[in-house]
């Protein structure tokens, strides 16, 4: 059995590893992300500098990384983004969830979500966490349900990748 991954908030020193893992995710599962691989390349790694600084982490804006115990390689990531309009401040969204193929099935995704939810519980005024998952991604949906997310809707043809439309399930978890 593999040792539990180390989960921690990513910082500016992690930017290159984070960006490379993000690019891998976008290539491997384009139907699971709103951003395309090409868009990520055009924006570049500096696009993530502000969130990786961590200045707004206590407000509910952060990115977590999962690292192997052996060599500290980044093998998973997930972010939380707090809504900004005053009337929506009670909500945040899970974004960019990805576990590298070589780490799949080892509890990395669950560990990332568990830490994200623990941190979200400490964010003042946050009452609801939302996420969007590809309707055909049964494994991800089951994981989200196992930590308390419940479906509340479906966006028909929510994404179009190379002319193929995919439905998206909308899920929420209340704090």
Alpha helical stretches, state H, the chain? 15-28, 37-43, 49-53, 108-121, 138-146
Instruction: Please compute the mean of the pLDDT values over residues 11-29 and round it to a whole number.
Output: 96
| CA–CA–CA angle 119, 30, 41 (5° rounding) | 85
Q: In order of start, what are the domains of the chain with their CATH numbers?
A: 6-174 (3.40.630.30)
Q: Return the SS3 of 122.
A: coil
**Cα 40 versus chain centre, distance:** 15
**pLDDT tens string 87-98:** 999 999 999 999
**pLDDT tens string 88-136:** 999 999 999 999 999 999 999 999 999 999 999 999 999 999 999 999 9
Whole-number pLDDT of residue 2: 66
């Amino acid at each position: 059995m593999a040792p539990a991954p180390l989960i921690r908030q990513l910082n500016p020193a992690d930017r290159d590893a984070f960006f490379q893992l993000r690019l891998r995710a976008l290539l491997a599962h384009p139907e699971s992300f709103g951003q395309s691989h090409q868009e990520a390349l055009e924006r570049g790694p500096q696009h993530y500098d502000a969130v990786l600084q961590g200045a707004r982490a206590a407000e509910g804006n952060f990115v977590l990384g999962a690292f192997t115990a052996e060599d500290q390689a980044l093998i998973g990531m997930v972010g939380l983004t707090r809504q900004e309009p005053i009337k929506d401040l009670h909500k945040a969204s899970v974004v960019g969830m990805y576990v590298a193929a070589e780490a799949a099935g080892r509890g990395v995704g669950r560990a990332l979500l568990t830490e994200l939810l623990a941190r979200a519980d400490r964010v003042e005024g946050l009452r609801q966490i939302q996420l969007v998952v590809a309707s055909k991604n049964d494994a991800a949906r089951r994981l989200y349900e196992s930590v308390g997310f419940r479906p509340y809707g479906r966006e028909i043809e929510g994404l179009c990748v190379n002319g193929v439309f995919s439905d998206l399930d909308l899920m929420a978890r209340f704090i």
